[in-house]
Each structure stands twice: as C-alpha cells, then as structure tokens.
Amino acid sequence: MRILGIDPGYAIVGYGVLDFSHGNFNVVDFGAITTKAGMNFQSRLKAIYLDMCEIVETYKPDEMGIEKLFFNTNEKTAIDVAQARGVTMLPAIMHGIPIYEYTPLQVKCSIVGYGRAEKKQVQEMTRTMLGLKSIIKPDDTADAVAIAITHGLSVNTRKIMGKTGGQL
C-alpha cells in the first residue's frame, strides 16, 4: 500500500510518501510545499492545491493520513489552516483516495509509545524506523512522514483486529 502523509499548513505543507507492505516501510519521497509570506492568501491556496495535485498524480497513493487540527487560541490562524487543509485534501478526494485523520497524540503514541514525547524523540524514532542517516527536515516534513507511518501501523492493526474505521 502506498501512503501519503500530510502535515497541513498554509506556509509549509509537509508531505511524505511511503510504501508499506508486510509490516515494512520503504521511503518513496518526502518534502514540503512552501508559499511565500507576502503572497495573497488565495494565491497561497492555489499554489498548495496545484502542488498537491501533482503529488497525488505522480505518486498515486492508495490512502492518505493527515493531521487532525486542534487550536485553542488564535481563531484566524485556525481558520486559515483549516482552509489550507481543505485545499490539501481536495486532490485526494477528487481521486477517490480514502483520507484518515490522526491527532498529534496518536502520532506520538504510534511512533514513540508515549503521548507526551518531545518532537526530537518522534523525529529520531522516525529516522530509526525508516533506516535514514539523518532526521528529516523541515519539521513539517518530518511530521508528515510520522503521520504516514502512523497510518501504516494503524491499518495493520485494523487488519489484525478485523476492524474498519477512522476514514473521513
């Protein structure tokens, strides 16, 4: 199964593409979609959408995992990130790719086994699990790859338990 992991945003959208088979992950690609700070917000959304279309069409993922948004302070930022998240998901939706959401707590528990793990712990464990020489940068890309791993492990667990669910 090919998994596309996404860490949504409007300045940086991290992505990671992993192949998952028989409990093993293979890195296909990872990176970040970036938009310039001075760009008109609508132009940012368009750039994210077009880049996501290219990623989906190039890598043809079977499923997508995306970070579930949680904000408790800045409403404007939350709304902007939510809009960017929708634009990020649209190419997958248009291609019929199932989308699953994961909270940061779920990702930390999946990768490190501890919900209050530090970002560095998650990055180091991600590096180790994938056999990489160094941790993935930027942080948004590392988070996206961790989300892809979390999805693969979650799918594996659901298969073992004979359950479905979690899809948007």
Can you tell me the distance from the alpha carbon of 47 to that of 149, in angstroms, rounded to the nearest whole number?
26
Active site residue 7: yes
- Catalytic one among 51, 63, 67, 101? 67
Can you tell me the distance from the alpha carbon of 44 to that of 167, in angstroms, rounded to the nearest whole number?
27
- Catalytic one among 7, 63, 101, 143? 7
Instruction: State residue 20 phi and psi, 5-degree precision.
Output: -130, 120
The contacts of residue 144 (CB under 8 Å, 6+ apart) are 5, 6, 7, 13, 14, 15, 16, 30
- Catalytic one among 63, 101, 140, 143? 140
Q: 20 with 3: CB under 8 angstroms?
A: yes
Active site residue 51: no
Show which residues are catalytic.
Answer: 7, 67, 140
